Amino acid sequence: MGQVNQHKRALLITGTIVPNSNFVVHTNVQERRDEYYASLIFYADNFEEDDVFFLENSSYDFSADAEFQQLLTDKKITLLKFSVSDKYNLGKGYQEFEMLDAAIDKLYDKYTSFIKITGRYKVLNLKELTDYTCYGLVADFHKKLKVTQTNVFYVSRIFYNNYLKNLYLKVDDSNGVYIEKIVYEKVHTQELKKEIKLFPKNPIITGISGSYGGTLNRNKLKMKIRNIERKLLCVFRINQFLIEY
């Protein structure tokens, strides 16, 4: 077994360049490829002290994309290529967490924590949001909707292995059983409230949603209110949003 460095972490950037789901409307392969390309540059440049991995599970042929290969080499990004899933009807969450499970199994002995990002999105303030050691799960949890935002989260390897591993097997987007709901149910029914936290500030995310094809920009006033709410919830040690707006 390899020796884990104290507080060593990695970025896991997930991607599916060629869509393989019934629930994706943003299907232009060249546009998706270019969005992943730009995001990888952004994360590699902003997290030079961490190791960056690109998890990809589509039929995209990287051997025919010299520019992408050069990027991976120049930015020291490791490509973890996975087979195309045959569970396209179960949705994106199933396939993404199937990859995450396999990647964390592979990297478990090398890192104590992982930052996971949906690859086409740029979380502009991610550095600020993760500038501390993670011992559990840091994400945004919503009580009214009963969902955990999984587009970006920060998790210790032990928490992931103990509580999130194999959850993807329960996902079925066609019946409204989304990974966001499954993760929320897991961390609350397991009485894990002391091990989960909200992000200290709103993640500032740019990009195009794969699910509905619209921008991820949020209302600025609502986000200011949400940031104030985060501070209040922290004071009262409440680890989820109680209202939606």
Q: For position 56, what pLDDT does the model report?
A: 98
CA dihedral (225, 142, 231, 117) positive or negative: negative
Q: Which two tokens mark 154?
A: 């920060």
CA triplet 209, 211, 95: central angle to 5 degrees?
105
Tell me how far apart the alpha carbons of residues 212 and 198 are, in angstroms, rounded to a whole number: 25
pLDDT in tens, 164-204: 999 999 999 989 999 999 999 999 988 898 999 999 999 99
Q: Which two tokens mark 13?
A: 């950037």
DSSP alpha helix (H) spans, 53-167: 66-74, 92-107, 126-129, 157-159
Least confident range from 39-53, 68-82, 147-161, 202-216: namely 202-216
Does the structure show a pLDDT above 90 at 2?
no
**pLDDT range class, residue 27, cuts 50, 70, 90:** confident
Summary mean pLDDT of the chain = 92
Q: For position 210, what pLDDT does the model report?
A: 54
Q: Give the domains, in start order, of the chain with CATH numbers.
A: 9-235 (3.90.550.10)
Helix, strand, coil percentages for the chain (3-state, nearest 5): 40, 20, 40
Q: For position 208, what pLDDT does the model report?
A: 72
34-69 CB burial, b ≥16 within 10 A, e <16: ebbbebbebbbebbeebbbbbbbbbebeeeeeeebe
Does the structure show a pLDDT above 80 at 41?
yes
Q: For position 245, what pLDDT does the model report?
A: 85
| 3-class DSSP state of 42 | helix
pLDDT in tens, 195-219: 999 999 999 999 776 555 566 677 8
What is the average per-residue pLDDT within 229-235?
Answer: 96
Q: For position 24, what pLDDT does the model report?
A: 73
